[in-house]
Structure 1
Amino acid sequence: MSARQRRAIHNRIAVLRTERRMSRAELARRIDVNVQSVGSIERGDYYPSLDLAMRICEVFDLPVEAVFSRTEFAPLSAQVYRG
């Protein structure tokens, strides 16, 4: 595992946007960044500042740990159907 992989910050932004039928442009407008920044954050190419992460969480009305994680999120199907 590379140093970058150990420091990676994973997110569920694309999933949350999709379930709320929100475009990247709409999220970008609501958090006051450009659309390209939203795409970069979703892909993990750019990690948001704490302030920006908090703004993103406010849009989705979720705590930080529901949106961002140091470990990869399990697929929702695995969480829903595990057992």
Structure 2
Amino acid sequence: MVMNPVIEVTGQTATGRWYIFEPVTFADGKKAGWLAGYYHDDFVKVNGEWKYKHLRFRQYLSTPFSEPWLKTKFGPE
């Protein structure tokens, strides 16, 4: 699931950020899991068409489906 993008356009260039949360199958052991992160991209307009200039992905969560990614409860008891 790719969440709502935030896109900022400045003339012939733009930046975009998309958060992603997805079920995955890990190649090692073929286990089901979860992955979360975000894309942070740069774009440039060439001959009237938007093109990727730089695509980056930052992963901040990767965990097996069968295990909680956090065993400690957040917030007050």
Q: Higher relative contact order by CA 8 Å / sep ≥ 6: 1 or 2?
A: 1
Larger radius of gyration: 2
- Structure holding more strand per residue: 2
TM-score by length of 2: 0.21
TM-score by length of 1: 0.20
